[in-house]
A and B are shown apart, each in its own frame.
Chain A
Amino acid sequence: MSWFPRDQWYVAAYGSEIAHDLFTRTVCGEPILFWRTRDGSVTAMPDRCVHRRFPLSQPSSRLVDDQVVCGYHGFTYDSGGKCVAVPGQTRIPRTARLLPYPVVEQDSFVWVFVGDPANADAAQIPRAPWLVDPAYTTVCGMEPLDARYGLLVDNLLDLSHETYLHGGYIGTPEVASTPIDTAVDEDAGVISVSRHMDDAECPPFYSKSTGLQGRIARWQDIEYMPPCLYTLHSRIGPVGSVPRADGTDPDAFHVEVVYAITPETETTTHDFWAVARDFALGDEEVSAFLAENNRTVVLQDVVALNVLEKVIATEPEGYQELSINIDTGGLAARRMLARLCEKS
């Protein structure tokens, strides 16, 4: 059994991170080399020369037009991974080839398929359309996490921790005290956790960005599509407000919080986060506030989960956790991830 689900799509980067320059990131233990070709598409291939394993992202490796030249002995590969030159001889060995990763740029992310490329189906990539929708303004970032990806999944599936870990930012007493509803769609591979607070304190994250003061209706509807994409549909409005029968919701503010949870190694994770809002569009002051505050919240999680990873690494085997009602969604996510790992 693999420690991560294989034959799955993972977010490797934001599209904005990849220019016509060598870029590397390790995904599921595999170092991957990226660059944006002259025609604007993104390449993804192993970041190791087939000759002596030298990382192709490592200077003095360099990009020449759309070919990468290994900085150790000069093996040269085109954007499809084909070796087009080796030093000192004209014959290029048949096996001198980097096997490209299936790669798709979508919803501001660069997705790579880790597994057998023959099984890659781009239609299976979960969507986060708000991140590129002109009706929303988005702030985003990525924080390195020195903890296994499962700890971040646990964290995000149970938002009751907001009350304790993120008090003064997004946490209020009602988050922990409001019951949740959970649904697990076995066929679609979606775990939903819903918490509707109809009369709650407005945390600074939302009062300062929306202007709402006093008590609010605050709804949190999570959809997690294992292994990588997590979305939190956050609705904030005056107490008593509800969406209209026609599906519109003009009395409320909407924030789409998106995470991409990408394993780097068995005990480290890329924690991509994005916050898309349908109000104060283009307002740079609100964007700066939400970006700084959300990053602070993410870093509070990072600190906590880094500590937890160390605790787990040093504890005796067979430690028995305790789970209660708030863990219903997290337990479902663990089970779905374990099943995906078993198939790998």
Chain B
Amino acid sequence: MTTTGRVFRIHWVPGTDRLHATCHCAAEREFEDPVELWEWLLGHPEGHTP
């Protein structure tokens, strides 16, 4: 993937049902629900502690 700038990345953890989210501020968190995941990412910087 070729991306630049403020990028959110979501990696589906192999062998699991979990999604690993990384904010452009480097904060990371795992989720089981993509809706909750996007709420957290888009809530930046609230709750984003690298």
Q: Is the Cβ of B8 less than 8 Å from the Cβ of A183?
A: yes
Cβ 8 A contact of A192, one of B1, B6, B13, B33: B1
Q: Does A155 contact B (CB under 8 A)?
A: no
- Assess whether B45 is interfacial by the CB under 8 Å rule: no
Known: A325-B12, A325-B19, A335-B42. A183 touches B35 (CB 8 A): no
Q: Which residues of A contact B (CB under 8 A)?
A: 179-188, 190, 192, 194, 221, 223, 323-325, 327-328, 331-332, 335
A192 to B35, CA, bound (A): 17
Interface residues, chain B, with chain A CB atoms under 8 Å away:
1-14, 17, 19, 24, 33-35, 37-38, 42
Judge whether B11 and A181 touch: CB under 8 Å: yes
> How far, in whole Å, are A194 and B1 apart by their CA atoms in the complex?
8
Please indicate the chain A residues that have their CB under 8 angstroms from the CB of B10 in the complex: 181-183, 328
Q: Is the CB of B12 within 8 A of A181?
A: yes
26 intermolecular pairs with C-beta atoms under 8 Å apart: A179-B13, A179-B14, A181-B1, A181-B9, A181-B12, A182-B10, A183-B3, A183-B7, A183-B8, A183-B10, A185-B5, A186-B7, A187-B6, A188-B5, A192-B1, A192-B3, A221-B1, A323-B35, A324-B33, A325-B12, A325-B17, A327-B34, A328-B19, A331-B35, A332-B38, A335-B38
In the bound complex, residues from chain A placing their C-beta under 8 Å from that of B2 are 192
With both beta carbons as reference points, the residue of chain A lying nearest to B17 in the complex is identified as: A325
Contact of B9 with A183 in the complex, beta carbons under 8 Å: yes
Chain B residues with CB under 8 A of A221: 1
Task: Report A-chain residues with C-beta under 8 Å of the C-beta of B19.
Answer: 325, 328
Residues of A within 8 A of B3 (CB): 183, 185, 188, 190, 192
**A328 and B37 contacting across the interface, CB-CB below 8 Å:** yes
Residues of chain A within 8 A (CB-CB) of B4 are: 185, 187-188
Instruction: Identify whether the interface residues of A are mostly helix, strand, loop, or mixed.
Output: mixed
Choose among A181, A185, A194 the residue with the greatest number of B CB atoms under 10 Å from its CB: A185
Q: Are the CB atoms of B1 and A186 closer together than 8 Å?
A: no
**A273–B4 CA distance with the chains assembled, in angstroms:** 27
Q: Is the CB of A186 within 8 A of B6?
A: yes
Distance, CA A186 to CA B8, complexed state (A): 8
Whether A185 touches B6, Cβ cut-off 8 Å, given contacts A179-B12, A194-B1, is: yes
The answer to whether B17 touches A184 (Cβ under 8 A) is no
CA distance A186 to B41 in the complex (A): 12
Task: Tell me whether B24 and A180 are in contact (CB under 8 A).
Answer: no
Q: How far is the CB of A126 from chain B (nearest CB, A)?
A: 13
Extra contacts, 12 of them, besides A179-B12, A181-B11, A328-B34 (Cβ < 8 A), are A179-B14, A185-B7, A187-B4, A188-B3, A190-B3, A192-B2, A221-B1, A325-B17, A331-B35, A331-B38, A332-B8, A335-B42
B23 CB → nearest A CB, Å: 11
Q: Determine whether the beta carbon of A182 is less than 8 Å from that of B24.
A: no
Give the interface centre of B2, B33, B34, B42 by most chain A CB atoms within 10 Å.
B34
- Min CB–CB distance A147 → chain B (angstroms): 23
* A contact residues around B1 at 8 Å (CB): 181, 183, 192, 194, 221, 223
Residue of A nearest to B19 (CB): A325
In the A-B complex, the 4 residue pairs with the closest CB atoms = A187-B5, A179-B12, A185-B3, A182-B10
Q: Which residue of B lies closest to A180 (CB)?
A: B12
* B17 close to A186 (CB less than 8 A): no
Q: How far is the CA of A335 from the CA of B42 in the complex (A)?
A: 10
